[in-house]
A and B are shown apart, each in its own frame.
Chain A
Amino acid sequence: MWWRRSPGPALDELVQRLQAGDSLALGQAYDRHHAAVRAFARRLLGDADAAEDLVQEVFVTLPKAIRRFDGRSSLRTFVLGIAVRHAQHHQRALARRKRAWQRSGELEMAPPLGPEDDCRDRELAAALARALDGLPMDQRAAFVLCEIEERSAVEVAVIVGAPEATVRTRLFHARKKLRETLEREGFR
């Protein structure tokens, strides 16, 4: 029939079981992909608690979201895409929490001391993490996926559900803003 989608690649057994509502399959999917999702979430949000909330939300919504998975990408790409889509409101909640911490003076901004190079890298990493907080979520996701996780623009386009050119544009603007922010903080 003309209205049916063209058949995609054959779905692997885990995806088929997820689509059938198998709760054991959800456990297996969690085992396979939670580390990648957690690492991405921490880099994207810059906070362990917020990242953990996001990981849980991604896997709780996976059984419903998997119904529209057509097998054209890997399950990990699909799961990361869910994380990107859900990251926005976690980021808002995190921003509120950070503001509260800053008001109460609990947020530790200074990097820990150590050997000179390590100290310099930690300062850089901490400054970059803070600068990432100032980016819009779509640019932040593009930067984290392309630059930190070193994924290709094609793969990132699939994850974020945007054209490849859009991803490159977001990355360009993200890099520009990050450079400016780091310069303002005295990094040359």
Chain B
Amino acid sequence: MSDDLLNRASRALREQEHDSGQAPPGARLRVIEAAGRARKAEARQMAVVTALGMVMLASTAVAAATGHLQQAVAVVKAAVGMGAPEPASLPTRTEPAPASLRAGKGRAVALAAAATDATEVAVRPELPVQPAPAQPEPEVAGNGLHAPARTGGSTGLGQAGIATAPKAAHVHAPLAPAPDDSAEDLALLAFRSAQRLHAQHQWSAALAAWEHYLKVAPRGELAPEARWSRAQCLAQLGRMAAARAALQPFATGAEGGYHQADAAELLQALDAAGERPE
């Protein structure tokens, strides 16, 4: 078939009488009426959308003012599967640096190394922290402990001894958990709180926090770390007998070899320092 035939067909179709100029009766009126209805429907839709937008805006403002916005966002995120509660940024490695012992007025123990490790752990800033009454802490003179700081000057322990003055302004108690948290969440909150206090070298408050955690989750998977940290706090506070007692299970391998070498080293350091039981 040639293009001529197709062209002829096209021409024939073009020239067919379609009465194309003739609109059916009432067609114009129907178009104008339908357009008017469409315009009104659009205006109604716009009004509804505007009203919904204003309600959303007002709700957001009220939620922000009353402090519920973050909670609502978290609920929505959880509902849509975007924001499962942030997994605890638990320490995957909490082994302290090898304790560096040195001779001098006394053998020093690098207890603060673990504390500086703890600073590497993310701490949720929104966790509420309640101030606790300041506790006077014993001041140990003589052959005290010295912790060489890995991060520089953050030990709080001098060569002359352990100076653990009360820090009333920054002493923290374990967290007061929200009533709707599960037991696991409560334990986690307590662990984080203790970890943060430990990292801040607030030994007295950290000790209380570790003990609180161990009370909440004595068999928790983080309990060995909590016991290890508690022992460090005891040593930092000069409670040597308690520290020895706490370190002993680690040194003997009762904690499954966890920090076994470090514990043995610390115990040797304490013995060499000649500390007497409290």
Contacts and interface: CB of A to CB of B under 8 A. Distances in A.
Contacts of B35: 23, 26, 59-60, 62-63
A21 B39 contact: yes
Interface stretch (B1-9, B135-143, B206-214, B245-253): B1-9
B30 A56 contact: yes
Given A26-B31, A56-B34, A61-B38, A178 B6 contact: yes
Interface of B, secondary structure class, is: helix
B18 A42 contact: yes
B165 to A, nearest CB: 62
Interface string A9-49: 00000000000010100110011001100110011000010
**Interface-centre pick from A27, A55, A60, A64 (highest chain B CB count, 10 A):** A60
B93 interface: no
Contacts of B1: 179, 182-183, 187-188
A152 B116 CA distance: 78
A122 B17 CA distance: 11
Interface in A135-187: 147-150, 175, 178-179, 182-183, 187
A125 interface: yes
Interface stretch (B19-27, B78-86, B216-224): B19-27
Interface of A, secondary structure class, is: helix
B8 A124 contact: yes
A33 B38 CA distance: 20
A84 interface: no
Interface string B20-48: 11011001101110111011001000000
A187 B28 CA distance: 41
Contacts of B30: 56
Contacts of A182: 1, 5-6, 9
Contacts of A55: 23, 27, 31
A56 B31 contact: yes
B14 interface: yes
B39 A30 contact: no
A52 B10 contact: no
Interface string B43-82: 0000000000000000000000000000000000000000
Interface in B75-126: none
**Interface-centre pick from A55, A62, A122, A148 (highest chain B CB count, 10 A):** A148
A94 interface: no
Nearest to B7: A147
A188 B5 contact: yes
A129 B13 contact: yes
Nearest to A49: B24
Interface of A: 21, 23, 26-27, 30-31, 34-35, 38-39, 42-43, 48, 52, 55-56, 59-64, 121-122, 124-125, 127-129, 147-150, 175, 178-179, 182-183, 187-188
Interface of B: 1, 3, 5-10, 12-16, 18, 20-21, 23-24, 27-28, 30-32, 34-36, 38-39, 42
10 contacts: A31-B28, A39-B18, A56-B30, A59-B31, A60-B35, A62-B35, A64-B38, A121-B12, A182-B5, A187-B9
